[in-house]
């Protein structure tokens, strides 16, 4: 676990907490390196890289960019999972926070996972995460449309974010978790029996359901930004995307 970027106060707090835990007798077997592991140990691991800047004595507080940077870079280490890296050396090879795909578990090659893009790029859905249906998925009934689009029947039961725990009802309204508003939506049209997506827009809350639903459009906002209500005026975060 990397803690080299923690502030002195936070590092002291971590050590203090660990020292309150009861001793556990649990012998750990020694590590055995294969040929590739020995090469990595003798090269990359022989010269560990420390923090690029001097860690602060005290961590920042409050809803600020500085606090967010400290949490992302030094506490949560979001870049470690959400950046493409070489599975041979572990070196970061992609843009920071740009997401990765098909990361294979070393002890279970059949299992892979794909941390999403969590930047402000408008392509990802809402918090930059692949929001998924919560209802039962009938995988045995899936079909492929024009050799590229896979359709999998799902029983509607709301939507959820597997990365941050955000939950939404069937209309996309936020019901739990960190999101502050409903899911973003797209303008669309039907041309010659085909669905054509237009520009995206933000939604505060959807009133009603189905064909009786009422939606008020707002300019597309960043994830975590309120678009209406008292919060919008109390937390005026500058816009980054149009």
Nearest Cα to 78, choosing from 49, 130, 116?
116
What pLDDT score was predicted for residue 43? 62
Nearest Cα to 81, choosing from 109, 101, 61, 110?
101
What pLDDT score was predicted for residue 13? 92
What pLDDT score was predicted for residue 154? 80
| DSSP result, 2-52 | --TTS-HHHHHHHHHHHTTSPP---PPPPP---HHHHHHHHTTTTS----S
What pLDDT score was predicted for residue 182? 93
| pLDDT tens, residue by residue, 144-172 | 766 666 777 887 788 888 777 789 999 99
What pLDDT score was predicted for residue 97? 86
What pLDDT score was predicted for residue 137? 76
How far apart are the C-alpha atoms of 167 and 176, rounded to whole Å?
5
Which residue stretches of the chain have pLDDT < 50?
124-127, 240-242
| pLDDT tens, residue by residue, 85-105 | 776 667 788 888 888 776 665
Asked whether 227 and 204 are in contact (CB, 8 A), the reply is yes
Task: Please state, as a whole number, how many other Cβ atoms lie within 10 Å of the Cβ of residue 63.
Answer: 8
> Residue 130, exposed/middle/buried by CB under 10 A (0-12, 13-18, 19+)?
middle
How far apart are the C-alpha atoms of 242 and 240, rounded to whole Å?
7
What pLDDT score was predicted for residue 240? 45
Residue ranges of the domains in the chain?
A: 8-21+28-113, 162-234
SS3 content of the chain, % helix, strand, coil (to 5): 20, 20, 60
Which residue bears the tokens 């816009």?
239
How far apart are the C-alpha atoms of 125 and 223, rounded to whole Å?
9
């Amino acid at each position: 676990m990397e803690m080299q970027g923690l502030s002195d106060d936070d590092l002291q707090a971590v050590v203090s907490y660990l020292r309150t835990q009861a001793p556990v007798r649990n012998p750990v077997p020694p590590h055995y390196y294969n040929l590739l592991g020995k090469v990595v140990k003798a090269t990359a691991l022989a010269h560990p890289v420390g923090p690029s800047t001097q860690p602060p004595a005290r961590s920042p507080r409050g809803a600020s960019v500085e606090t967010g940077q400290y949490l992302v870079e030094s506490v949560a280490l979001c870049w470690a999972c959400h950046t493409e890296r070489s599975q041979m050396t572990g070196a970061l090879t992609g843009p920071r926070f740009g997401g990765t795909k098909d990361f294979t578990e070393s002890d279970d090659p059949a299992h892979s996972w794909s941390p999403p893009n969590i930047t402000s790029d408008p392509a990802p859905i809402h918090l930059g995460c692949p929001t998924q249906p919560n209802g039962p998925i009938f995988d045995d009934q899936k079909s492929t449309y024009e050799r590229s689009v896979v359709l999998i029947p799902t029983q509607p039961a709301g939507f959820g974010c597997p990365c941050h725990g955000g939950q939404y009802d069937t209309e996309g309204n936020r019901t739990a978790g960190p999101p502050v508003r409903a899911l973003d939506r797209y303008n669309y049209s039907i041309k010659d029996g085909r669905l054509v997506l237009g520009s995206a827009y933000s939604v505060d809350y959807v009133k009603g359901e189905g064909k009786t639903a009422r939606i008020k459009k707002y300019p597309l906002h960043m994830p975590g930004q309120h678009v209406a209500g008292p919060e919008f005026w109390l937390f005026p975060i500058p816009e980054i995307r149009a």
